[in-house]
Chain A
Amino acid sequence: MQGIFDKYDVGEFYDEMFSSDGAVRPHYRQLLERFAEMDPADFDRKRALAERTYLNQGITFTVYSGDEGTERIMPFDLIPRIIPAGEWSVIERGLVQRLNALNQFLHDIYHGQRILKEGVIPEEIVRSAKHFRPELVGFDLPNNIYIHVCGTDLIRGADGAYMVLEDNGRCPSGVSYLLENRQAMKRVFPRLFSRHAVRPVGRYPQELLAALRHSAPHGNPDPTVVVLTPGIYNSAYFEHSFLARAMGIEIVVGPDLVVENKRVFMKTTKGLRQVDVIYRRIDDDFLDPTVFRKDSVLGVPGIVEAYRAGNVSLANALGTGVADDKVTYYYVPAMIRFYLGEEPILPNVETYLSAVASDRTFILENLPRLVVKAANESGGYGMMIGPHATKEEIEKFRAAIIADPRGYVAQPVISLSRSPCYVDGAVEGRHIDLRPYVLSGEKTVIIPGGLTRVAMRKGSLVVNSSQGGGSKDTWVLDEGEAPC
């Protein structure tokens, strides 16, 4: 009766669509009714339609092999992930709370350092953070906002409770997939949306532009805002140009900009034009070869001087990488209590710091059962999943932890929740996470849902696109509408 869902096995995991006894969860009931009518041939046709759209639009990343790059699309699964209104409102409050605390933390460590002085976070942890920029201490930002765009990765464990896996406060990417996935779903399953009250996501670029304009120096009411990209060969270039188009602003590369008299200008056909706000998609290290990496050809010489003179705003601000540090992550719940006097709404994943002697002993004794992460890597790199690791990998990480205890953290293996995904003619469970995008401007704004990333390989827990991950559309249902 249920067609492609006939042989679906919930397995030992928290399943987004079915409870452990195999009953469909109420907010997925209608979707199941629709999909149950479909056979694999229908589904393959729909999927080919979606994939062709991505390819023709050039929503691709390049995989290099030999002398020529081939363009691939990020795998897209057509079965949406659905979040009921009540669940979302808790997530939303938790994310706002978390980003407020992180912004206050950044302001604090670049000013009075109260949280260090009061011993809530050991001073050494911040001082030794790879992305802490002591030269920015005492520097004031418009509205005290450091992280304008935050990508917070959420996961659900065996009991279905949401937890924060990490905060991405530098240049989180992926939001264009969120928006394009919705477009693709509307094209492929137009009638599904009229049966569900799905909250729209399309206003993200306007909200982003508002947040960027809000960050302009000296409260300039009509700032010139640009997107700074490393260029067309960057794997996220599609997203950079997508956002520039959707915001109606220029996209620039480093050589388009020049600094004169501590002001940033772009080179136009009509001469130099001053730039006020830069949504930069280049990491701190590559931004200014006169200050950071000398070999960077992506950056703009002198831009940091202009920034420090208060003549240009950068989003995200310089020095936010310290909040991405996985050791800092450990202290976010403490920050929430310290700055806001509230209990964290979204908990962290249980984390052990190898910088702390007792934790280190525990980590080294339990490596095959833990996930070990380098404190300053992202994109699924610098990570070991104990139960899936070889003996050599485990020993490699053991040596690395002993050599640099500050550089690693460990967490228990979380069996991420699974969502039904269409794979080779049938539906199977795959592990997923959720990356909502949180914008800090005049107020904190979150587009309903986020990017649901899928570990497409059977059994895999790694959802990053650089590691073969895919994505699916994420539906937040509207309040007041009965989900079934």
Chain B
Amino acid sequence: MLSRVADACFWMSRLIERAEANSRVLDVNIQLMLDLEDGNGSTARQHWQPILATLEDQELFNELHDGITGDAVMDFITFEKSYANSIVSCLSHARENARMVREQISSEMWEHINRLYLYLHSGASRSAFIESPIDFYRSLVDSLHSFQGITVATMTHGEGWQFLQAGKFLERADSTSRVLDIKYHILLPSGEQIGGTVDSTQWMAVLRSCSAMEAFLKISHGHVTGWEVAQFLILHDTFPRSLRFCVDQLDASLHCISGCDRGHFSNDAERLSGMLRSNLDYATIQPIFQEGLHQYLDRTQLSLIEISNALVKTYCTWLDRT
């Protein structure tokens, strides 16, 4: 497969997953705010600040908006064209990548992403957003889920598909780590206890952002504590958005692409993904909290960036002289 095409598949998939993650986080945050609202303006700031804190481009937000309000943050993350990671930007770039690999992906995939793009650039999407932001984000997530289904059902599961898989799971691992990290940035109101009502409501929101609520409750016997939520979202072996699961799938796709056996490596991307995967396979939650959850997540995000860079270098830019 052409190197450029592999690159476009990988990024198309990452951007689609990123748009989905943004939609989920915003949906859940609106609901969380409604749960905890006390009619006092400072609450809005407290709820939306942590979302901003995990973005890489807070300066741009501050240039464009006077203060942190729910509307401003939602508008920025959803519709802001000058923000490269907004939902609209992600899907525009994903579509551009899809157009580049139009002959690799199925027509059904292309038409789905194209329709979604046309919708987001039409007045209809704005009106739907104003009518009900929650419904708007849910229908976006639905549509992106459909895209995943269409992909599985209509595209050849060959090399291109493996690059899509690699992109999807790498991005998803990153998203899950960021959602967990949002909680680190949320300050508990004074007087609230760790493990108290507000704390556990916030952890439940983290779970919901990862569609993990129901799966988590099946094994947690009703306790929603930071320790258990982090353990679930980092170390669970079969939940499809846990870090461990995502890294395992990423590693599997990388090995499918090269044909190298799992447990061995033939390039840097595989070596790095294999290391991260075995770390996650044999980790327990206690040392993670000892190190500090935020520090651990930061380190994991850096590993994911390294894997991504190594993948691009191995397969996509190997001949570039720069």
> Chain A interface (Cβ within 8 Å of chain B)?
55-58, 232, 237, 241, 244-245, 250-253, 255-256, 258, 266-270, 272
Given A56-B111, A58-B114, A268-B3, also A250-B103 (CB < 8 A): yes
B4 at interface by CB-CB < 8 Å: yes
B164 CB to closest chain A CB (Å) equals 14
Is B115's CB within 8 Å of the partner chain A?
yes
Flag B1-38 by CB within 8 Å of A: 1 or 0 each.
11111100000000000000000000000000000000
Expressed in whole angstroms, the Cα–Cα distance for A56 and B112 within the complex equals: 8
In contact, A245 and B315 (Cβ under 8 angstroms): no
A56 touches B2 (CB 8 A): no
- Which residue of chain A has its CB nearest to the CB of B7? A269
> Shortest Cβ distance from B97 into chain A, in angstroms?
9
A418 to B186, CA, bound (A): 71
User: Contact at A267–B319, with CB atoms within 8 Å?
Assistant: yes
Q: How far is the CB of A155 from chain B (nearest CB, A)?
A: 34
* Any A CB within 8 A of the CB of B137: no
Question: Dominant SS at the A interface?
Answer: mixed
> What separation, in Å, do the CA atoms of A269 and B311 have in the docked complex?
10
A253–B118 CB distance below 8 A: no
Rounded to whole angstroms, the CA-CA distance of A267 and B2 in the bound complex is: 6
Closest A-chain residue to B118, C-beta based?
A55
Indicate if the CB atoms of A269 and B3 lie closer than 8 Å: yes
Which residues in chain B, 84-115, are within 8 Å of chain A measured between CB atoms?
96, 99-100, 102-103, 107, 110-111, 114-115
Docked-complex contact A267 and B3, CB < 8 angstroms: yes
| Size bracket of the B interface | 20 to 34
Q: Is B281 an interface residue (CB 8 A)?
A: no
**Which partner residue on chain A sits nearest B105 by CB separation?**
A245
B159 at interface, CB cutoff 8 A:
yes
**What are the 5 tightest A-B residue pairs by CB atom distance, in nearest-first order?**
A245-B103, A241-B102, A269-B315, A267-B3, A244-B103
Known: A56-B114, A57-B114, A58-B110. A269 touches B100 (CB 8 A): no
Q: Are A269 and B4 neighbours in the complex by a CB distance under 8 Å?
A: no
Cross-interface CB contact of A241 among B96, B99, B111, B257, cutoff 8 Å: B99
Q: How many A-B residue pairs have CB under 8 A?
A: 55
Complex formed: what's the CA distance from A252 to B104 in Å?
A: 12
Rounded to whole angstroms, the CA-CA distance of A463 and B114 in the bound complex is: 29
Known: A232-B96, A256-B4, A267-B3. Contact between A251 and B103, CB under 8 A? yes
* Cross-chain contact B111 with A253 (CB below 8 angstroms): no
Interfacial chain A residues near B4, Cβ < 8 Å: 252-253, 255-256, 267
Say how far A157's CB is from chain B's closest CB, in angstroms: 41
Shortest distance in angstroms between B103's beta carbon and chain A's nearest beta carbon?
4
- List which B138-176 residues lie within 8 A (CB) of chain A: 159
Residues of A within 8 A of B100 (CB): 232
| B56 smallest CB distance to A (angstroms) | 24
18 contacts between A and B (CB under 8 A): A56-B115, A57-B107, A57-B110, A232-B99, A232-B100, A237-B99, A241-B99, A241-B102, A250-B2, A250-B5, A251-B102, A256-B4, A266-B2, A267-B3, A268-B1, A269-B159, A269-B316, A270-B1
On chain A, the residues within 8 Å of B159 by CB distance are 269
CA distance A267 to B7 in the complex (A): 12
Nearest to B3 among chain A residues (CB) is A267
Residues on the B chain within 8 Å of A232, using CB: 96, 99-100
Complex Cα distance, B2 from A251, in Å, reads 9
Does the CB pair B2–A256 fall under 8 Å? yes
**Which residues of A lie under 8 Å from residue B96 when comparing CB positions?**
232
List the A residue with the shortest CB-CB distance to B5.
A250
Q: Tell me the minimal C-beta distance from B162 to chain A in angstroms.
A: 10
Give the residues in chain A near B6, CB-CB below 8 Å: 269
Cα–Cα distance between A272 and B318 once the two chains are bound (Å): 11
Question: How many angstroms from the CA of A55 to the CA of B114 in the assembled complex?
Answer: 9
Residues 186-208 of B contacting A (Cβ, < 8 Å): none
Chain A residues within 8 Å of B115, by CB: 56
A269 touches B257 (CB 8 A): yes
Contact string against A for B residues 36-55, beta-carbon threshold 8 Å, 1 for contact and 0 otherwise: 00000000000000000000
* Least CB separation from B96: chain A residue: A232
List B contacts of A255 (CB < 8 A).
Answer: 4
How far apart sit A237 and B1, CA to CA, in the bound complex (Å)? 20
Give A250 to B102 CA distance when docked, in angstroms: 10
**B253-279: contact bitstring with A at CB < 8 Å (1 yes, 0 no)?**
000010000000000000000000000
* B118 contacts across to A, CB distance below 8 A: 55-56
When distances are taken between beta carbons in the complex, the residues of chain A under 8 Å from B107 are 57
Bound form: Cα–Cα A256–B1 in Å: 11
Instruction: Report the Cα distance A28→B239, complex, angstroms.
Output: 64
Instruction: Identify the closest chain B residue to A227 (Cβ).
Output: B103
Given contacts A56-B114, A57-B114, contact A269 B1 (CB under 8 A): yes
CA distance A270 to B6 in the complex (A): 11
Q: Whole-angstrom distance from the CB of B233 to the nearest CB of chain A?
A: 32
Contact A268 B99 (CB under 8 A): no
Chain A residues whose CB sits within 8 angstroms of the CB of B319 once the complex forms: 258, 267, 272
Q: Are B99 and A57 in contact (CB under 8 A)?
A: no
